[in-house]
Amino acid sequence: MINTKTAALQKLDSAHYLHPFTDHKDLASKGARIITRGEGVYVWDTEGNKILDGMSGLWCVNMGYGQTELVEAATQQMTVLPFYNSFFNTSVEPAIELAALLAEITPPQFNHVFYSSSGSESNDTILRMVRRYWDIKGEKQRKTIISRKNGYHGSTVAGASLGGMTGMHEQGDLPIPGIVHIEQPYFREVVKDHPELKDLSEDEFGVLAAGWLEEKILEVGADKVAAFIGEPVQGAGGVIIPPKTYWPEIQRICDKYGILLISDEVICGFGRLGTWFGCETMGTKPDFMTFAKGVTSGYIPLGGAMVSDRVVDVLYQDGDFNHGYTYSGHPVACAVAVANIKLMQKLDLVNRVKNDTGPYLKQAFESLNDHPLVADAKTEGMVAGLVMLKDKANNTPFDDDDNVGMICRGHCFDNGLVMRAVGDRMIIAPPLVISHAEIDELVRLARLALDATWADLKAKNIV
Ligand code: PMP
């Protein structure tokens, strides 16, 4: 039985609240879980359950809950100046301070930032800026942006078009013209349709998968391609960690055809992979970086695009860029971001992920590979994923109808762990401040959930 407060809130929630990516009839039949409080890597719901947040909220609460420095930065800025815009030759102090700090922590080609309030808006900005760049350079026909199937770049019209989620494209006639997709570097998925590739090594597959970019460039016409966009590690697509050979080959191809490279760092940025930005782990030198989420640890919405010198130099040549948001450079959001980044620096958090907690998570999480349900348990810094297989010995995947991800996610919740399901993959992206003991706890709870899932599947004669 749920308590009366939960019941009342669930009723109101179902009556009035349209949630993101939600089947509302289904939600109404179950009732939402209502989260009320957070501390460190844990959150609590209205039923008093303590839950280890293995997903950092939505890949964003990198510093964990309850960081008073961030709260104080927001309070202070709210008191002094809650809002002023950056249009019409004005600026605000926190936006300037953050821009300089971002120039310091990002790779050397980045010295300028354009602010937004989310990852989606940032990718919309980049799409417009890329086209403006080629326009000023006198190559107006370079409009096409190449992206990847099963990539995620947001939910706005441009963001969802850049993304390669078929379920999103089916709703609302997407993608918009000028955006085309190539196959993702997910070996297991690609082999389903191309069994002839099954004997390739990881490294060989990485080079092959990057080669699909070159094929697409030649198909579209090299003089018509403006940019390529990708996440260093695909997050929402199921934590697809590409082979080491993939990104360097993508960079080589972009350079060969003079195509701009956009690294969508909304998840991988701000230390997630054990470097400040994912492109540093992958060995690329992008022209743009999309960021959001981790810049403020999700305490307040902020996003943006880092723009490289090569692009800025061109934009400066030709008057206004007719684009911007009311909340571009919002002073409170920028003040929180400055406090967040300074706290990360004070704690030396990026190095800790790279040299301490990242390797610790690797050995703990990858030990799940011995479970009868599990294959490919793999981490990169503080993000990890595994695939559940119906018959591990014969590499047989589950059918979609088996709903294995949803079953496992349910058991995770029941055991006090947030783990996200993407089809038959289970993924985590815990707060970067997680301790060794909390990693042990996370993996112990994940194993319990996998055991319970296995038992369910056996009872239903699915395995
Ligand atoms: N890009 C990537 C890589 C993302 O993971 C996300 C969100 N999960 C977005 C863009 C969109 O960000 P937002 O939800 O803040 O619009």
Q: What is the mean pLDDT of residues 7-35?
A: 96
Q: Contact, 410 vs 404, CB < 8 A?
A: no
Q: What number of other Cβ atoms are within 10 A of residue 83's Cβ?
A: 12
Q: Is residue 218 one of the residues assigned to a domain?
A: yes
Residue at a domain's end among 313, 331, 347:
347
Q: What is the mean pLDDT of residues 385-401?
A: 95
**Domain span holding position 449:** 33-66+349-459
At residue 1, the pLDDT reads 84
Residue at a domain's end among 347, 362, 380:
347
Q: How far is the CA of 58 from the centre of ligand 1 (A)?
A: 9
Give the closest residue to 184 by CA, choosing from 218, 231, 221: 231
Can you spell out the DSSP letters for 234-296?
Answer: BSTTT-BPPPTTHHHHHHHHHHHHT-EEEEE-TTTTTTTTSSSSHHHHHT---SEEEE-GGGT
User: Do 124 and 165 fall into the same domain?
Assistant: yes
3-state secondary structure of 151: coil
Q: Contact, 126 vs 162, CB < 8 A?
A: no
246-257 and 202-220 helices cross at what angle (nearest 10)?
A: 20
Pocket test for ligand 1, best of 153, 168, 239, 262 (most atoms within 8 A of CB): 153
Burial of 123 (0-12, 13-18, 19+ CB in 10 A): buried
User: Do 228 and 187 fall into the same domain?
Assistant: yes
Which atom of ligand 1 is closest in space to residue 292's alpha carbon? 15
Q: Which helix (H) or strand (E) holds 200?
A: none
Q: What is the CATH number of the domain that holds 154?
A: 3.40.640.10
- Atom 12 of ligand 1: nearest residue by CA position: 119
Residues in contact with 299: Cβ distance below 8 Å, sequence separation at least 6, in sequence order = 61, 67, 70, 71, 74, 336, 340
User: Would you say residue 273 has pLDDT above 90?
Assistant: yes
Tens of pLDDT along 344-370?
999 999 999 999 999 999 999 999 999
Q: Is residue 18 one of the residues assigned to a domain?
A: no
Pocket residues: Cβ below 6 A from ligand 1: 59, 118-120, 152-155, 231, 235-236, 264, 266-267, 292, 303
User: Do 302 and 382 fall into the same domain?
Assistant: no
End-to-end CA distance of the chain: 32
The DSSP bridge pattern shows strands 374-380 and 383-391 to be: antiparallel
User: Do 157 and 75 fall into the same domain?
Assistant: yes
Dihedral sign of CA atoms 7, 8, 9, 15 in order: positive
Tens of pLDDT along 139-183?
999 999 999 999 999 999 999 999 999 999 999 899 999 999 999
Number of domains in the chain: 2
- pTM of the model as a whole: 0.98
Q: How far is the CA of 154 from the centre of ligand 1 (A)?
A: 5
Rounded Cα–Cα distance for residues 387 and 368 (Å): 11
Tens of pLDDT along 438-458?
999 999 999 999 999 999 999
The DSSP bridge pattern shows strands 35-39 and 42-45 to be: antiparallel
Rounded Cα–Cα distance for residues 206 and 244 (Å): 7
With a cut of 0.85, is the ipTM above it?
yes
Q: What is the mean pLDDT of residues 24-29?
A: 96
Of the CA atoms within 13 Å of residue 255, those in its CB half-sphere come to 9
Tell me what the pLDDT averaged over the chain comes to: 97
Q: Give percent above pLDDT 70 in the chain.
A: 100
Q: How far is the CA of 304 from the centre of ligand 1 (A)?
A: 11
Tens of pLDDT along 197-256?
999 999 999 999 999 999 999 999 999 999 999 999 999 999 999 999 999 999 999 999
Q: What is the mean pLDDT of residues 45-64?
A: 98
Q: What is the CATH number of the domain that holds 448?
A: 3.90.1150.10
User: Would you say residue 313 has pLDDT above 90?
Assistant: yes
Rounded Cα–Cα distance for residues 338 and 342 (Å): 6
User: Do 343 and 362 fall into the same domain?
Assistant: no
Rounded Cα–Cα distance for residues 427 and 450 (Å): 13
User: Do 149 and 101 fall into the same domain?
Assistant: yes
Residue at a domain's end among 302, 328, 347:
347
